[in-house]
Amino acid sequence: MKTICLYFQVHQPLRLKRYRFFNMGKDHHYLDEASNRAIMQEVAANCYLPMNSLLQELIHKYGNKFKVSFSITGLAIEQFRTYAPEVLDSFRALAATGSVEFLAETYDHSLASLANRDEFISQVEAHSTLIQKEFGQKPTVFRNTELIYSDSIAETVSSMGFKAILTEGAKHILGWKSPNFVYASALDQKLRVLLRNFKLSDDIAFRFSDRSWNEWPLTAERYVSWLTAPDLPGELINLFMDYETFGEHQKASTGIFEFMRYFVDLSLKSKQLKFATPSEAAKKHQPAAIFSSPYPISWADEERDVTAWLGNELQNEAFQTLYKLRDKVVQLNDPDFNYVWNFMQCSDHFYYMATKWFSDGDVHQYFNPYGSPYEAFINYMNVLSDFTIELDRRAALQHAQQASVEEHCVLA
């Protein structure tokens, strides 16, 4: 009997408004509130609410035989609170069933793991605190932004007390080995590694409605037959995908919700498949081998590396300029500046600057509100420039106030 581990990523960035050079020094409101509200409410109606309702239905029908897991970014939860509180309520209801596990990640869906260890740890701790507050669970499994993984990142994650980590079953790392086993992290073998089966995951996430695909239309019966095929190696099938697959990327008219309903039904009726959360899977299955990746990998594009975010000069300049500000932001410790610092770290901003287009280039197009990578870069850097000016001004004011207080104390 094979174990199915279903994991869904829930994330919506806080999008920047069109911010021009002439706004600098005058306008310090950087977000496109109208767009953020409209997109959140649209995705809530198309995906979050109907899919959460379906999962509730399946859990009610099958009890603890059906399990699922999520990681929900802090930025998404903030927007649920503001624009779609009913979505947050529906996730809380799922948490109450006991059949849903919530994973930790970076609060801002950031690339901090590639920039600054202290910032990375701070964001993960903030996110774990948020998940415990909202859903009553202290995460024991970690999922980094875009499944970014390296040996050093895994070592940091293990040092924070996590028991398992999710990442991509990248061919250039696995070689002949199968992603359908639990692995042990190279630098700390107590940390279990769960690898995404990208072929079976992408059959749903990307190819489900593709009429040019030779397996279209994909039925639940055929999909389950692939999972139960005698020649499928391994003992664990990790199906990891964006939650927006259901109803947003794959519209309801494609039959994606019906597929999910019958997929679960047929999997359990097969007597050859069962569902487990990542923590259950990591605990049950012994590691088959060591998993080592000296350099960062991810689940993006054909290369499965980080060049979707840091693959050109525009992206790297923006990234380096941003993280040079960290010490100033931390020292100032002002809630308003911390808020901007957080949403400016969101990986989506760098994704919009990508100049590469491969098999999932349509995904770049789908999420990108800009006409070109250069436009995305200019808009981001205009906002970052104004933020830097204001940060320096506020830091100077704070320093002057502290000096005044110290002088007053000496005179007294």
Residue 397 parent element (H or E): helix 373-411
Span 33-47, pLDDT tens digits:
999 999 999 999 999
Span 299-343, pLDDT tens digits:
998 899 999 999 999 999 999 999 999 999 999 999 999 999 999
What is the rounded distance in angstroms from the CA atom of residue 34 to the CA atom of residue 48? 19
**pLDDT at residue 358 in the model:** 46
What is the rounded distance in angstroms from the CA atom of residue 152 to the CA atom of residue 48? 34
Residue 300 lies in a domain: no
Instruction: Decide if 282 contacts 141 (C-beta within 8 A).
Output: yes
311: Cα within 13 Å, side-chain hemisphere? 19
Q: Is the domain of 8 the same as that of 108?
A: yes
Q: Which of 291, 325, 352 is the last residue of a domain?
A: 291
Q: Is the domain of 282 the same as that of 337?
A: no
Q: Is the domain of 279 the same as that of 316?
A: no
Q: Is the domain of 104 the same as that of 161?
A: yes
Q: Which of 261, 291, 321 is the last residue of a domain?
A: 291
Q: Is the domain of 171 the same as that of 257?
A: yes
Residue 299 lies in a domain: no
**pLDDT at residue 368 in the model:** 77
**pLDDT at residue 399 in the model:** 80
Span 106-147, pLDDT tens digits:
999 999 999 999 999 999 999 999 999 999 999 999 999 999
Span 189-226, pLDDT tens digits:
999 999 999 999 999 999 999 999 999 999 999 999 99
Q: How confident is the model at residue 409 (pLDDT cuts 50, 70, 90)?
A: low
Instruction: Decide if 175 contacts 41 (C-beta within 8 A).
Output: no
Prediction pTM value: 0.95
**pLDDT at residue 366 in the model:** 59
Q: Which CATH number covers residue 177?
A: 3.20.110.20
> Considering the chain, what percentage of its residues have pLDDT values greater than 70?
95
Average pLDDT value over all residues in the chain: 94
Q: Which of 291, 321, 355 is the last residue of a domain?
A: 291
Residue 109 lies in a domain: yes
pLDDT beyond 70 at 176: yes
Q: Is the domain of 238 the same as that of 381?
A: no
Which amino acids are annotated catalytic? Answer: 146
Span 350-408, pLDDT tens digits:
999 998 864 444 554 556 789 999 999 999 999 999 999 999 999 999 888 776 666 55
- 57: three-class secondary structure by DSSP: helix
Q: Is the domain of 110 the same as that of 179?
A: yes
**pLDDT at residue 222 in the model:** 98
The DSSP bridge partners found for residue 149 are 297
Tell me the two tokens of residue 133.
């507050």
Residue 374 lies in a domain: yes
Residue 210 lies in a domain: yes
Residue 154 lies in a domain: yes
**CA atoms 345, 346, 347, 353: torsion sign:** negative
Domain count, the chain: 2
What is the rounded distance in angstroms from the CA atom of residue 292 to the CA atom of residue 154? 10
Instruction: Decide if 270 contacts 129 (C-beta within 8 A).
Output: no
Q: Is the domain of 272 the same as that of 321?
A: no
Q: Is the domain of 145 the same as that of 249?
A: yes
**Structural domain boundaries, residue 116:** 2-291
Burial class from Cβ neighbours inside 10 Å (0-12, 13-18, 19+) for residue 22 reads exposed
Span 149-166, pLDDT tens digits:
999 999 999 999 999 999
Q: Is the domain of 259 the same as that of 150?
A: yes
pLDDT beyond 90 at 410: no
Residue 302 lies in a domain: no
Q: Is the domain of 286 the same as that of 248?
A: yes
Q: Is the domain of 275 the same as that of 339?
A: no
Residue 296 lies in a domain: no
